[in-house]
Chains A and B, each alone.
Chain A
Amino acid sequence: MTGEYLFEIMGELDDDTVIEAREPVKRQRSWRLLVPIAACLALITVLVMRAAPPMDGGALDGESYAVDCEAPPMVCVGRGLYSIATEQPELAGREDEFEYLGEITSRVDSAEQPRESFQANDDLIGSRVYRLDEDIVVEYEGKYLLYELLYNYKDEE
């Protein structure tokens, strides 16, 4: 059989499959969109609190408010920052698609953003990390959690 023949055979795919492929991708509800919004809101809150006199007359500094603002679970692998996907697909049984990368070795506070490779802002130390296409999968307590690429630190350079 030749590649040409297989290409011709592909031409007989169902209409629905053909149409679906060129339809705009529905964007998943994702932390990717919420993180910048949450960050802006936190910043505005801090600025407002710093500008306004405290109601109870006590000391108020912006930092205490910023720390209260929890970030979503994130993991840094290589130069990529990944955030947990809000819609978790079933990943059990797809292990042959995983590429093992290593284990989470350090963590930062849950309000912070991990910046070093194999660092998380959650209790994931020792969890195995795999690549799955452009995303990563973290194995935690026997479950696979999908994290989507949020940001590339190399973009800062």
Chain B
Amino acid sequence: MDDDGIIRLFWDRDERAIEVTAEKYGRYCGSIAGNILKSPEDREECLSDTYMRAWGSMPKDWPRALSAYLGRITRNLAFNRYKEARAQKRGGGEVSLVLEELSECVSGTVEGECDRRELARAVNSFVQGLPEGKRRVFVRRYWYADPVKDIARDNNMRPDAVSKTLERIREKLREYLTERGFEL
């Protein structure tokens, strides 16, 4: 079924919407949850929560891109679960490494948390300005939290080249945001 058909099911409050969504996007959302959450039970719950969240939000929204819409819900829910798990010292998956890398771009203090919308716009603009190959690598790592070896495999690169590329982009992001007055 195409995406508009699935969205129509959500809008019509047809429960097949969840079944069809799980069939088409379960694996995609599952990989996002899996990169962030270590426990298989947490991942499964996160997926169920994703479908429920979509069920609750879809009569209002008609997503332009259903995959990104669902992926974003999964990412947010998984990351909230990750934070709860970490507070209970149960740790997380690949995302722990991703957060360590991102911490190199910032001071690590909470005082500098500037206007979220402005910062999101600046980060978006920075990412848009990257050459396509680098943008893919960067987004795979810091949006999907994909492991470096998977990114390397899918982009015909060596893992050490991926790591080096990410390091350079992080440094450029830091410069870009600092030049624009963001307190990192």
Contacts and interface: CB of A to CB of B under 8 A. Distances in A.
Interface string B63-101: 011011101100110010001000000000001001111
B132 to A, nearest CB: 8
A13 B184 contact: no
A156 interface: no
Contacts of B108: 1-3
A21 B104 CA distance: 23
- State the main secondary structure of chain B at its contact with A: helix
A16 B136 CA distance: 11
Nearest to B184: A1
B10 interface: no
A35 to B, nearest CB: 16
Contact of B139 (A3, A6, A17, A24): A17
A70 B144 CA distance: 44
A11 interface: yes
Contacts of A18: 68, 71-72, 139, 143
Contact-residue size bin, chain B (C-beta under 8 Å from the other chain) = 35 or more
B164 A7 contact: no
B120 A12 contact: yes
B63 to A, nearest CB: 8
Contacts of B75: 11
Contacts of B161: 133-134
A89 B131 CA distance: 10
Nearest to B75: A11
Interface in A1-59: 1-22, 24-25, 27
Q: Which 10 residue pairs spanning A and B have beta carbons closest together? A: A3-B103, A21-B139, A15-B68, A3-B102, A134-B161, A12-B120, A1-B112, A1-B106, A15-B65, A3-B99
Interface of A: 1-22, 24-25, 27, 89, 97, 133-134
11 contacts: A2-B103, A2-B106, A10-B123, A11-B72, A13-B123, A17-B128, A21-B135, A24-B154, A25-B154, A27-B156, A133-B161
